[in-house]
Amino acid sequence: MSGPGAARGPVRRGGPGGGPFGGAQLPAEKSMTFGPSALRLLRRLAPHRLPVLAVVLLGAISVVFTVVGPWLLGQGTNLIFAGAIGQTLPAGSTKEEVVEGLRASGQSAQADLISGIDLVPGQHIDFNALAVVLGTVLVLYVLASVFSWVQGRLLNTVVQRTTFTLREEVEAKINRLPLSYFDRMPRGELLSRVTNDMDNVAQSLQQTLSQLLTSLLTVVGILVMMFITSPLLAVISLVTIPLTVVITALIAKRSQKLFVTQWRATGELNAQVEENFTGHALVKVFGRQRETEAAFGAKNEELYRASFGAQFVSGIIMPAMMFVGNLVYVVIAVVGGLQVASGALSIGAVQAFIQYSRQFTQPLTQLGSMVNLLQSGVASAERVFELLDAEEQTPDATPAETPPADGPGRLRFEGVSFRYVADRPLIDDLSLTAEPGQTVAIVGPTGAGKSTLVNLIMRFYELDAGRITLDGVDIARMTRHDLRSRTGMVLQDTWLFGGTIRDNIAYGRPDATEEEILAAARATYVDRFVHSLPDGYDTVLDDEASNVSAGEKQLLTIARAFLAEPSVLILDEATSSVDTRTEQLVQKAMSALRADRTSFVIAHRLSTIRDADLILVMESGSIVEQGSHAELLAADGAYAALYAAQFADAAPEDTAEADLR
Amino acid sequence: MTLLRLLGRFLRPHGRPIALIVLFQLIQSVASLYLPTLNADIIDQGVAKGDTAYVLSTGLVMLGITVLQVAASITAVYFGAKVAMALGRDLRGAIFHRVSAFSEREVSAFGAPSLITRSTNDVQQVQMLALMTFTLLVSAPILAVGGVILALQQDLELSWIIAVSVPVLLIALSLIIVRMVPQFRRMQTRIDTVNRVLREQLTGIRVVRAFVREGVETERFAEANAAVTDSALRAGRLMALMFPTVMLILNVSSVAVIWFGAFRIDSGSMQVGTLIAFLSYLVQILMAVMMATFMAMMIPRASVCADRITEVLETETSVTPPAHPVHRLEQHGVVELRGASFSYPGAEQPVLRDLDITVQSGQTLAIIGSTGAGKTTFVNLLPRLFDATAGSVLVDGVDVRELDPDLLWSRIGLVPQKPYLFSGTVASNLRYGKPDATDEELWHALEVAQAADFVRSMDGGLDAEIAQGGTTVSGGQRQRLAIARALVKRPEIYVFDDSFSALDLTTDARLRRALRADVKGATMIIVAQRVSTIVDADVIVVLEDGAIVGRGTHDELLATSETYAEIVASQLSAEEAA
């Protein structure tokens, strides 16, 4: 655990919180496939082959140096030991004589020990030799540090670039996904994937990759040195590996289950919090505070239990590895001690070995402790990959066709059929023509497919049958950009981005001049309320845009469309929250705007509908009537019934209203 | 420091387990400190003297201590995980509880997304810091201090190496970390930016596509992405410096110990085993120092999160529950405003000014007015989503601020402007205000709200699934379900905040007709845009810039209020209005 990232454990927001939502089904949750996803994540490093190669090489070199270091230090210790023992022996005699003498006096153990040491009796520590050894070690250590620093920098660059690219791909993917994908996927869930999971992948990559590499290389390097120093002790140490693997696997298997529970609980808790905070007012007024707090408390407790379990179980890995390490340490000390005593090994070798065994178990412990981070990172990567693998919208036609730039804007539906859900036809064999400059009002009961119809014009969804043409060109043959830049849309759900009012108005035309923006604002009565705001056009709209009212938001979205000057205009209940006087004024502005362009208007207000050139009456996905207000009333069909129904109820003014014709 | 205060407050109940954690970490650390001493003994007493029996027996002791160490450290992890996770749970609970008490004013001041982040992600950071502290950091000072003591015991003369290397390590690491922290802080804000841009793109995907802004948005994202990558690269470069620096200081110190130790051994004042033990202690001390410094890097981030959490916990709701609530009401369905005003703190213009309105039991009050006139704020005063900043609001003759909140809320059925639905089923949403409502009651409410037909056609009918926010039904359907939800509750006062806007003409008309028959005797407060919705209200109040500019019945207002006449004229023929 290094770096601040360690702070971010595997507990994250989001998590699979899907379920069947009335017809819109989430893709079935795949079971966790750790291996393939981890490989896929690694493969993403491929474009950085050269730096990665350099990283591996540098890592290997610096590991070799770190590994040779203790061996040389062992040599140093040997020199010290030789001197320390040598000076206690009578000078002038040879080592052999001393050993003989000891044997003769029955001190065979001592004799064995001394015979294993390269010493000259009577001689003190050879400081010159020691200086050479230690000097070499110092140089090696400095080099090892320099190499490992360069390696770290390179790896950092590789990881950051990889993350950068992954984020870029996610962004590009969002632009290529069909809108139906966003309808299907709960927003919180998707957001969690592109933000939380993405962050998690980046952090896991950064934290685990360098350690993973160094740890693996170190294990290999030290193992080699161990075999060189003492094959017997090396074999003992080797037992550590399967032991480590088995212990880690046993624990990780349990902890992973707990982690999955923890993520699920986190996701569910998050959904609860999100839901209750968003519907805060309702929770209060419907007196549900106690229930929501109880439900929250229960889920919170569940999350606590799961995360406690996960942290505890995965927390056992470290001490367990420590135990394995210490076990080997003791065995080596004992066996090594015996070997030194029997003269089979020098004391320096044992000391080096003990240091090796420490260095050997440390990376193994690290690998073990990284398991949970790795599990979490790969799980997140999988969720990001799922997004990247989602089916995309059909690519734009090549070569694309394009209607003349100043085309009149004749829109024609030819036998159009469309359905969101396979077995529920929504729009069936619909044909209509909107002449240039006409205003087409769409009326009909909720769920008749009015919004769907205008969505099809924007090509937000692909047709199941038939075609839609703009000035004779099939819109499916046009690029989406071309089509949409000719179309302006004001939606029922207002959406403003976090920025100033000015930027929001200029959204559809970033190059608009200040005069044009102000003109659009005046024409749509935005100017009026903006003046009452302390910062005027520089007022920054916040996340929820709570500093402007619902109606004001709608006016802003109208101003936005106004400024964009499209050749086809689509208004989906654009003024439902605007008061009628303002609406009337806006309508005037809009009718000026509509004069030379084809418009589609979905509205419930009579005033809006009455002025339309063409009224389409929709019922369950098909057009049951079309014509002007007067024609349709005269025809005494569905529209007349609709109209009568409204005004039969709407109290006294209905008759007068009907007379208005 | 806020972080410490927050931890202090929330860890207090866990005093005993924390004491246990410290105790077991102490045992664990002492055990791991003792091991090198034993190792030195093995070398000096056993190996060097060829005493294999000593090697074996000391080896067994070492094993025993290892077992003790592992047991202690697993116990410490157990309590550490328990306390840290409990801390997270308690913090989440406290935030949730506090937000539940907030009025709409505080909720909108923080913003729901921010409150969500604070109660999950920010808590996460603090919780992980606690976990790391309990499982690792606690033992660092024990290891460092213990290491120093034992090293001194082994050899006093060499201790100057510790006195030099520890400060050098500390200084080197601090130099790096001091540069790293601002980078991390910047990186955090930049990650927030990336996430915000993505959030905006996802929520506004239709608008982005309709205005062909994918290119611009991609660029905006690329900028944010490049910025965060830049910070991450800088921070990463410093991070890459860290490990080699530590290793270098550690290794150079080891070499120094061996070199200077050699002189001590040569002069006979030190044994080889002592040298090796000293070396182990030095490594242990430096590792502990390193661990502590690494942990220190987590603190800046966690303290930012602690600030954000504390901010929520210390925000008092502007709608405080009464100290001595009124539990009994004599009147039914009477609403009165006495000089009620409302303004946001710091705002120049009040949203509502000096409103005097009385609605008698069973009457219908309608509010009409232009966009931004304060209509929604007005209706929010009744259920105390806001409290009036001047004057008072009375329900059934009692100031709402003195009423038992549960009693108040049980009297009011609100249909908000944004018809938010909760995830669950149609039935669970309808039962929101009356959990024990029968299916018959639900169907009745649905019939009145003109929602029975489409609910019947949904898969599962009453048990049909509703997604969070109600996104799987159309806007009009959502509004009707929200109306039905209020109807099921059978309150004495209905509040409709522009609740018919998404309905088509026919449905609107039918609904209102059914509603009139159904809620007879109940008081209704209706905010509307369409005059047709409110013509037969007993009192119509015309709001303009937060003040009442006209009041009366439809006919009275036509004669007396110019504003009202304008509104009517915008919707009806001049002929009819006259």
Of A190-204, B335-349, B542-556, the range with the lowest mean pLDDT is: A190-204
Q: Could you tell me which residue, A656 or A644, shows the higher pLDDT?
A: A644
pTM summary value: 0.75
Which one of A580, A587, A639 makes the best mutation probe of the B interface by having the most chain B beta carbons within 10 Å? A580
Please report the pLDDT score of residue B332 as a whole number.
85
> Is there a contact between A152 and B244 if contact means CB atoms under 8 Å apart?
yes
Q: What is the pLDDT of residues A430-464, one digit of tens each?
A: 888 888 888 888 887 766 777 788 888 888 888 88
Q: What is the pLDDT of residues B253-278, one digit of tens each?
A: 888 988 888 888 888 777 777 887 78
Please report the pLDDT score of residue B39 as a whole number.
74
> Is there a contact between B89 and A336 if contact means CB atoms under 8 Å apart?
no
> Is there a contact between B258 and A550 if contact means CB atoms under 8 Å apart?
no
> Is there a contact between B93 and A167 if contact means CB atoms under 8 Å apart?
no
Per the CB < 8 A criterion, the answer to whether A507 and A560 are in contact is yes
Average pLDDT of span B492-519: 82
> Is there a contact between B116 and A270 if contact means CB atoms under 8 Å apart?
yes
Q: Is pLDDT at A293 greater than 80 in this prediction?
A: yes
In this structure, the strands spanning A427-434 and A411-418 are antiparallel
B64-88: burial string, b at 16+ Cβ within 10 Å, e else: ebbeebbbbbbbbbbbbbbbbbbbb
Average pLDDT, chain B: 84
Which one of B468, B488, B510, B555 makes the best mutation probe of the A interface by having the most chain A beta carbons within 10 Å? B468
Q: What is the pLDDT of residues A60-106, one digit of tens each?
A: 888 788 778 877 887 888 788 788 777 777 777 777 787 788 777 77
Give residues 265 to 304 of A whose Cβ lies within 8 Å of B: 266, 269-271, 273-289, 291-293, 296-297, 300-301, 303-304
Please report the pLDDT score of residue A34 as a whole number.
67
Which one of B364, B505, B511 makes the best mutation probe of the A interface by having the most chain A beta carbons within 10 Å? B505
CB neighbourhood size of B187 (10 A): 23
Of A31-35, A83-87, A148-152, the range with the lowest mean pLDDT is: A31-35
Close Cβ partners of B348 (under 8 Å, ≥ 6 residues apart): A534
Give me the percent of chain A exceeding a pLDDT of 90: 4
Confidence grade of residue A547 (pLDDT, cut at 50, 70, 90): low
Q: What is the pLDDT of residues A409-428, one digit of tens each?
A: 888 889 888 887 666 667 88
Give residues 219 to 258 of B whose Cβ lies within 8 Å of A: 221-222, 225-226, 229, 232-233, 236-237, 239-245, 247-248, 251-252, 254-255, 258
Nearest-CA distance A538 → chain B (Å): 16
Give residues 308 to 337 of A whose Cβ lies within 8 Å of B: 308, 311-312, 315-316, 318-320, 322-323, 326-327, 329-331, 333-334, 336-337
Of A552, A559, A493, give the one whose Cα is nearest residue A524. Answer: A559
Q: Could you tell me which residue, A592 or B444, shows the higher pLDDT?
A: B444
Q: Is pLDDT at B121 greater than 80 in this prediction?
A: no
Give me the percent of chain A exceeding a pLDDT of 70: 83
Q: What is the pLDDT of residues A229-245, one digit of tens each?
A: 788 888 887 877 788 78
Phi and psi torsions of A203, nearest 5°? -70, -40
Nearest-CA distance A304 → chain B (Å): 6
For the question of an ipTM over 0.95, the answer is: no
Per the CB < 8 A criterion, the answer to whether B423 and A19 are in contact is no
Give residues 372 to 401 of B whose Cβ lies within 8 Å of A: 372-373, 376, 380, 383-385
> Is there a contact between B48 and A347 if contact means CB atoms under 8 Å apart?
yes
Q: Does A610 touch chain B (CB under 8 A)?
A: no
Average pLDDT of span B554-575: 77
Q: Could you tell me which residue, A345 or A174, shows the higher pLDDT?
A: A174
Nearest-CA distance B237 → chain A (Å): 5
| Strand-pair partners of B364 | B524
Task: Say which of A125, A484, A542 has its CB closest to residue B111.
Answer: A542
Query: B218: nearest CA in chain A?
Result: A171
The DSSP secondary structure of A225-281, one letter per residue, reads HHHHH-HHHHHHHHTHHHHHHHHHHHHHHHHHHHHHHHHHHHHHHHHHHHHHHHTHH
Confidence grade of residue A659 (pLDDT, cut at 50, 70, 90): very low
Residue B374 to residue B390: CA distance in whole angstroms = 15
Average pLDDT of span A138-164: 89
Please report the pLDDT score of residue B438 as a whole number.
92
Residue B143 to residue B153: CA distance in whole angstroms = 15
Q: Give B133's DSSP letter.
A: I
Close Cβ partners of B284 (under 8 Å, ≥ 6 residues apart): B32, B33, B36, B143, B147
In this structure, the strands spanning B539-544 and B352-359 are unpaired
Q: Is pLDDT at A476 greater than 80 in this prediction?
A: yes
Please report the pLDDT score of residue B92 as a whole number.
94
Which one of A2, A119, A285, A586 makes the best mutation probe of the B interface by having the most chain B beta carbons within 10 Å? A285
Confidence grade of residue A113 (pLDDT, cut at 50, 70, 90): low
Nearest-CA distance A325 → chain B (Å): 10
Nearest-CA distance A63 → chain B (Å): 12
Per the CB < 8 A criterion, the answer to whether B386 and B319 are in contact is yes
Q: Give A566's DSSP letter.
A: -
Please report the pLDDT score of residue A422 as a whole number.
67
Q: Number of A:B CB contacts under 8 A?
A: 567
Q: Is pLDDT at B81 greater than 60 in this prediction?
A: yes
Nearest-CA distance A294 → chain B (Å): 10
